[in-house]
Chains A and B, each alone.
Chain A
Amino acid sequence: AQKVTQAQTEISVVEKEDVTLDCVYETRDTTYYLFWYKQPPSGELVFLIRRNSFDEQNEISGRYSWNFQKSTSSFNFTITASQVVDSAVYFCALSDAIYNTDKLIFGTGTRLQVFP
């Protein structure tokens, strides 16, 4: 069965600190996709990144970076020099490709609070 675990329920940091959000997944598929979404206080879900199971290269986008390691089934998300605007709930998700529906299986989310 597919499963996504975000063990960190809530993280608090002070502005300019670096912070890493952990994501561990389980799947028997050999082909799958991993995602991160951001949910700011306004409530909408914002897509951040997609990574397929064949691409283990780390990705950097501005202050955001992602570390995908198949050996540990992890897809961690790091924010460098955090800002107050980064305060949000972050969800890691896994695509379920068994029946080709591309359903997303979400973790329970990590609430990040960045204090000035």
Chain B
Amino acid sequence: IAGITQAPTSQILAAGRRMTLRCTQDMRHNAMYWYRQDLGLGLRLIHYSNTAGTTGKGEVPDGYSVSRANTDDFPLTLASAVPSQTSVYFCASRPGQGFNEQFFGPGTRLTVL
């Protein structure tokens, strides 16, 4: 059982380029989340999805978009990357209704130059 996988592991990207971070889970969890982690700021929610076909904005959604075409995949897209999007990005999932813990992927380290 892989749990949550994220790709790529790391990426260096030129400003203005488009980039999609991939997240796949094999636990059939309903809810999925994208966070970014920045030094001194902890983890902040970018977007979330309670179930396939629905998405919502988190605390810092600007410059990012997501889609949830099926249960397993929750890609995060940066349409035109900027240096302030340099961060470590974590995808997470949660089984469903109720207050269950979130399980996190290994993260993607993104550098925008």
Contacts and interface: CB of A to CB of B under 8 A. Distances in A.
Given A43-B88, A91-B43, A108-B42, A102 B104 contact: no
B12 interface: no
B58 A103 contact: yes
Interface residues of B, number: 27
B31 A101 contact: yes
A64 interface: no
Nearest to A52: B99
- On chain A, which size bracket covers the interface? 20 to 34
Given A50-B101, A102-B94, A102-B100, A43 B106 contact: yes
A33 B33 CA distance: 17
Given A33-B99, A35-B101, A97-B99, A104 B45 contact: yes
Given A47-B101, A50-B99, A52-B99, A101 B43 contact: no
Q: Which of B44, B88, B98, B99 has the most CB of A within 10 A?
A: B99
Contacts, number: 57
Closest 3 CB pairs of A and B: A45-B104, A106-B42, A108-B42
Interface of A: 33, 35, 37, 43-45, 47, 50, 52, 91, 95, 97, 99-109
Interface of B: 31, 33, 35, 40-45, 48, 50, 56, 58, 88, 90, 92, 94, 97-104, 106-107
26 contacts: A33-B99, A37-B104, A43-B106, A44-B104, A44-B107, A47-B101, A47-B102, A50-B99, A50-B100, A50-B101, A52-B99, A91-B43, A97-B99, A100-B50, A101-B48, A103-B33, A103-B45, A103-B58, A104-B35, A104-B102, A105-B45, A106-B42, A106-B43, A107-B42, A108-B40, A108-B41
